[in-house]
Amino acid sequence: MSLILVLLFLAALAVGAPVAIALGLSSAVVILAYDLPLNVLAQRAVNALDSTPLLAVPLFILAASLLTAMGVTNHIFDLVRLLVGRIRGAVAQVSILVSLIFSGVSGAALADIGALGKIQIDQMTGQGYTKKFGAGITIAAATIGPIFPPSIPIIIYASVTNVSTVNLLLAGIIPALLITLFLMIQVAVMARIYKLPRDDVSPSIRAVAKKAVVSLPALLAPILLIGGLIGGYFGPTEVAGVTVAYALVIGFGIYRTLTFRALWESLRETVEATAGILFIVSTAAVFAWILTLDRVPASASGFLLGLSDNPLVLLLLVNLLLLVVGMFLESIAAILIIAPIIAPALHAAGVDPLQLGIVFVLNLMIGLLTPPVGMSLYMVSIVAKMPVHAVIRGVLPFFIPLLLSLLAVTLFPAISTWLPNYLAQ
């Protein structure tokens, strides 16, 4: 039954069906063929959406859309440029830091690219960087967003594996900072080798202070979010709602650049993005139910534990599996299908659930950079108006810091677990 289900799913993908349609259609065919209760389709699909943490998904999408609509990304970019100064490769370093700051609101790689991509690439090409380099660092830096809280993939992973959403979000902070550091080191090395341009800004205390005052309301958004999570004042859903309310206040009351037309457009974009994500969640729930009915998770657990009982060996095997899966399957679908199958086995082998969650999501975010289904590649191709093969060539050097980050998170559990465990004391 499971083999037929997977073959039907792959066949649907091969003919170009969207992931959600492929999941739902293959599940429906198997349910009918094996005379399973037909009402399971609706029941499982609806129950999958009856989740409080999932309420955070549309709210974070809306918050990121509102901040983009009011133009605060330009203020943040200008401020960080002044702070970094005129070192070689400065604008590339700024792109990485701005991606880290904006990740404290967006929660998704594609949202970061949509909000920052054109600004980052235009700034770099305007100062003499190749468009290929600008596209590459933009894509690589966007992987920080889904690791640093809030993270939509982490929220979804936590909901399907019964891991604490707040702890898993907190577990992503140090790994995200590590990715940022490795990317900045990579840019520093490339700046020295390729003589990358210096920034043309003229930083001064007065200019920095002036831009800091203008940027402060926007910078307080991620501080409010992370502070609320760390302090235990908000859960992921509450903090998402607070972030949206804060974005509306600064958009209408402080910056006064948010219009009702822009608000309506942000709401429309949020509905469209949320519908796509939740459609996958609902159909994947039916797909996963059939796999569970056929005892696939139990069989997979037995198989993995039969290969080794060493947590590190199992993590390395999962890394290889997910790096391949990420090349062919959209990240949210991969989480919903694969996480419930392999997580129990690795938990039983002694892998910390927080470490596994970060390793899982980071693998799939690297998958966004790999053809043929790397959505970040296509997003930047559209934003930068350049062919996909040129984007791929631009991003190749940045696999080094990303894979080093993944290796570090895999080898050293404390990178993921120390902060949430410390705060829980």
How many angstroms separate the CA atoms of 332 and 217, rounded?
Answer: 32
Q: How confident is the model at residue 374 (pLDDT cuts 50, 70, 90)?
A: confident
Torsional sign, CA 169, 175, 179, 185: positive
Q: What is the pLDDT of residue 357?
A: 96
CB 174 within 8 A of CB 71: no
pLDDT digits (tens, 9 = 90+) for 48-103: 787 777 888 888 888 888 888 887 777 888 889 888 878 888 889 999 998 888 87
- Any bridge partners for residue 88, and if so which? 198
Using one digit for the tens of pLDDT, what is the confidence trace for 313-355? 989 999 988 888 888 777 888 898 889 888 988 998 899 999 9
- pLDDT number for residue 41: 78
Average pLDDT over residues 201-227: 85
pLDDT: which is higher, 398 or 237: 398
Q: Is-above-0.85 flag for pTM?
A: yes
Q: Which pLDDT score, from 0 to 100, does residue 127 have?
A: 85
List all residues 6 or more positions away from 205 whose beta carbon is below 8 Å from its beta carbon.
Answer: none
pLDDT of residue 104: 67
Task: Determine what percent of the chain is predicted with pLDDT higher than 90.
Answer: 27
Label residue 42 exposed, middle or buried (CB < 10 Å: 0-12, 13-18, 19+): exposed
pLDDT for position 106: 65
Which whole number is the average pLDDT over 111-130? Answer: 81
pLDDT mean across residues, the chain: 86
What is the model's pLDDT at position 86?
81
Are the C-beta atoms of 166 and 235 separated by less than 8 Å?
yes
What pLDDT is recorded for position 68?
80
- List pLDDT tens digits, range 258-311: 899 999 999 998 898 888 888 888 888 888 888 878 877 777 777 777 778 888
Work out the average pLDDT over 141-151.
89
Residue 328's pLDDT is 77
Task: Look up residue 88 and give its DSSP letter.
Answer: B
Q: Quick one: pLDDT at residue 293?
A: 81
Is residue 46 predicted with pLDDT exceeding 70?
yes
- Tell me how far apart the alpha carbons of residues 222 and 409 are, in angstroms, rounded to a whole number: 24
312: left (phi over 0), alpha (psi -120 to 50) or beta: alpha
User: What is the per-residue pLDDT across 181-207, written as a single tens digit (0 to 9) for each?
Assistant: 999 999 999 999 988 888 878 778 888
Q: Which amino acid, one-letter code, is at 302? A: G
